[in-house]
Structure 1
Amino acid sequence: MDTGPAAKEGVAGPVAVQAGRGAANPASILLDGLRGARPALVLVFGAKGDELAPLGDALKAGLPGDCIIAGCSSAGEIGPSGYASDSIVAIGFPTASFRASAHLLRDLGALPVSDWMAGLRRMHRAFAPDPGRALFGLLLVDGLAGQEDALVATLEASLPSVPVLGGSAGDGLDFRRTTLLARGHTLSDAAIFLLVETDLAISEVTFAHFSPTETRAVVTAAIPEKRRILELNAEPAADEYARLTGIARDRLTPTEFARRPLLLRTGRRHHVRAISEVTEDGGLSLMSAIDTGTVLTLGRAEDMTQGFLQALSALPRPPLMVLGFDCILRRLALERAGLAAVMSDLFTRFRVAGFNTYGEQHSGMHVNQTFVGLAFMDHGAPGDSHAA
């Protein structure tokens, strides 16, 4: 069993534990690390397909009856020792400091927005949050359904006062099928929304390691419902991207896409519109919404570790844990740069646990190649802070 620094019994902060997917009994290993926290909520990341339901059943049998268990498949995990693969990470949120409620958002392909909004508002009213405690939302969503933009807009409209963040479930680098777990069932074409209340201090942490260059391109043909660019600058999209980046057309891979992303400007900020693959017709398949007429800017990578260190060091106090949603394309870029071990050390230092995603949600937006996290801290004395 691999157990994080916050996993000591009696600590109010979240508890992160990890087991190998190939272990004889991963549920037993995870339960050994979770029981002491008496969790109100457990998030499980990394198990795939048919593994998720039996794992959820085993955890449910070994934890308090009112504990909510939710999770999803991933493109990689972040455990007590940093980046991991082929493992299962479970995060327990102790009843002593947390209260949670779960709501399923089904039929993503049909976009039943009115039904979603009605259900979310009922959930919020029934939850009866305590104004003296922090309230936040977590969203886990099928990363291949292509509806994150509509989902986050629906959440923003339904619960405007609730900060929401989350991640899109992954499937390694296969991009074939992602799976979610809720209420003992495995789901696809769905999302899980969790409303969580805590007496701990919380702080959102986001970091993207790109800046815009002077190189721009116009989407001159697209299939928005498939998140596919057919043409850039009136040329076949993959060919034009290769020309703009200087990468040979036959060398376009997820790793190269991660190094040179396309950016969309919104207000004063640029957000990544990540590319997942070249399509058979020479187009580019994206992981976020796109439309004809969109102006995109080629991005330039900046230091991926020092900027992250600065973002975490800016927290007012050392975190008990940081729940992290980290895009798989960031991890690929770190691995290519030989910096994955450095980032893993930072994750361990700041007690980050979570998973590698197909996209991230925060501040009412769906983004890519971004780290989105929520830090949990003791309230501390006024003026308390910590240095890097």
Structure 2
Amino acid sequence: MTAVDDLDRKPAEAVRLATSRADDAFTALAEIRRQLATARPSFIFLFVPNRLQPDDLAAALRKSLPNTVVFGCTTAGQITPRGYENDTLLAVAFQRHHFRVASILFQPISPVSIADVVSQTERLATQFRVTPGRKRLALIFADGLSKQEDILVAALEAGLKDIPVFGGSAGDGLRFQRTQVLRNGEFHSNAALLLLLETDLEFSGLGFDHFQPTDKRMVVTRAVPEERLVLEINGSPAAEEYARLVKVPVGELSPMVFAENPVLVRNGNLYHVRAIQQIQGEHGLTFLSAIDDGLLLRLGRGKEIIRTLETGLAVSGHDGEAPDFILGFDCYLRKLEIERKGLDSEVSEQLRQRRVVGFNTYGEQHLGVHVNQTFVGVAFFRPKAGAPL
């Protein structure tokens, strides 16, 4: 029997999942509550589709799950037990005997106070002491329109020190109007939610994309860094020069073109994606990560996305076992490219087989770096037989 066959046979042990495709918040949360009736969660993640209004969900939460700790965010899509979805409310209930959590809400985060983030994070890590035999990790959900994730994640890494941090930027479908994070029954914009988790499960961080650099170089010659806005590339209007390099008329530039032709920045021996969000004004390009004058970029070329997904998700524990579940943060631009190529069913099957649950993001956070067009996740493995609960 293969690991995938084994996954199909056994449900996840450490989390319980619930979904609803109802049209209104109260009905959706009532369905979630019924599906989780026998769960004993320490806390629940709620990943919200953009067709449901956060204010309605907040009101429904007070009635449907009044005594439950709930965190979450708005999304650009969900990863459910079916794979990729767009209009599904997803709840992930983390079982009490495997998880413990503490949280901080940073608000406002535009601009980020580095000193404040570091001091609050250090205080939380000191107060939230690890139980012998258990390990800690951190998760971050940030306002995906704040343009502050790069600085925020660097500050978090300084405060958390040896505690690894993973996460995703909240989304708003493809509207780019308002993104929010959820804590204590309330949704917040211009905010970031830091969660410090303790668990008896072994876990392994994931982070991969499917691009390699080409020989087409770009230098940012005029930018507005605080807005992540590039006005000139190689001394020419940014949108025109990018369109020339990807051999597409300026008028045909779109999220799909940006998804399939990202720009990459080198960090040591690694290249990270600096994704383009949209055209700004006549010739500007707005990015989803930090950008600055003089930054050297390369045009990226895609590798085979199914193969890189299969390789990236093929993680195993110390004894060769498959993960109990994978919490995934997957960029919405990856999903756009996958759908454009007609690969969404195949990718959804891979996600389902590997028991990935999570959401599509406006950016991903991986070990102190804010990235784009990347799959970031945490694979959790079942506790060994006889381990204390």
TM-score by length of structure 2 reads 0.92
Question: Is 1:250 the equivalent of 2:251?
Answer: yes
Determine which of 329, 348, 357 is the counterpart of 2:333: 329
Quote how far apart the aligned CAs of 1:12 are.
Answer: 3.5
1:348 aligns to what SS in structure 2?
Answer: helix
Partner Cα distance (1:149, 1:57) in 2: 32
Structure 1 residues 283 and 70: alpha-carbon distance in aligned structure 2, compared to 1, 3 A threshold = same
- 1:1-388 equivalences under 5 Å are 12-22=13-23, 25-48=27-50, 51-56=53-58, 58-59=60-61, 62-63=64-65, 65=67, 67-316=68-317, 317-380=321-384
Partner Cα distance (1:230, 1:134) in 2: 45
2:172 aligns to what SS in structure 1?
Answer: coil
Quote how far apart the aligned CAs of 1:128 are.
Answer: 1.2
Structure 1 residues 35 and 136: alpha-carbon distance in aligned structure 2, compared to 1, 3 A threshold = farther
Quote how far apart the aligned CAs of 1:228 are.
Answer: 0.7
Contact 2:45–2:93 under 8 Å retained in 1:
yes
Matched to 2:54, the amino acid is L
Quote how far apart the aligned CAs of 1:52 are.
Answer: 2.9
Partner Cα distance (2:314, 2:126) in 1: 36
Structure 1 residues 213 and 296: alpha-carbon distance in aligned structure 2, compared to 1, 3 A threshold = same
Partner Cα distance (1:302, 1:181) in 2: 36
Partner Cα distance (1:58, 1:87) in 2: 16
1:338 aligns to what SS in structure 2?
Answer: coil
Partner Cα distance (2:358, 2:338) in 1: 17
Structure 1 residues 99 and 296: alpha-carbon distance in aligned structure 2, compared to 1, 3 A threshold = same
Partner Cα distance (1:245, 1:49) in 2: 34
Structure 1 residues 168 and 131: alpha-carbon distance in aligned structure 2, compared to 1, 3 A threshold = same
Contact 1:60–1:69 under 8 Å retained in 2:
no
Partner Cα distance (1:14, 1:160) in 2: 27
Question: Pairwise CA RMSD of aligned residues?
Answer: 2.0
Partner Cα distance (1:373, 1:345) in 2: 17
Structure 2 unaligned regions, length at least 5 = 1-6
Matched to 2:36, the amino acid is L
Quote how far apart the aligned CAs of 1:118 are.
Answer: 1.9
Matched to 1:287, the amino acid is L
Structure 1 unaligned regions, length at least 5 = 382-388
Contact 1:104–1:190 under 8 Å retained in 2:
yes
1:149 aligns to what SS in structure 2?
Answer: helix
Matched to 1:296, the amino acid is L
Quote how far apart the aligned CAs of 1:272 are.
Answer: 0.3
Partner Cα distance (1:60, 1:100) in 2: 20
**CA deviations over 1:199-221 (Å, ceiling 9, x no partner):** 11111122201011111110000
The answer for the alignment partner of 1:385 in structure 2 is: none
**CA deviations over 1:38-75 (Å, ceiling 9, x no partner):** 1111111124497335435544655583x421111111
Contact 1:149–1:289 under 8 Å retained in 2:
yes
The answer for the alignment partner of 2:3 in structure 1 is: none
Partner Cα distance (1:38, 1:107) in 2: 33
Contact 2:58–2:187 under 8 Å retained in 1:
no
Partner Cα distance (1:205, 1:60) in 2: 35
**CA deviations over 1:230-288 (Å, ceiling 9, x no partner):** 10100000000011111111110001100010000000000000001011131110000
Structure 1 residues 112 and 50: alpha-carbon distance in aligned structure 2, compared to 1, 3 A threshold = farther
Matched to 1:334, the amino acid is I
Percent of aligned positions with the same letter in both sequences?
Answer: 41
How many corresponding residue pairs?
375
Quote how far apart the aligned CAs of 1:35 are.
Answer: 3.1
Quote how far apart the aligned CAs of 1:315 are.
Answer: 2.2
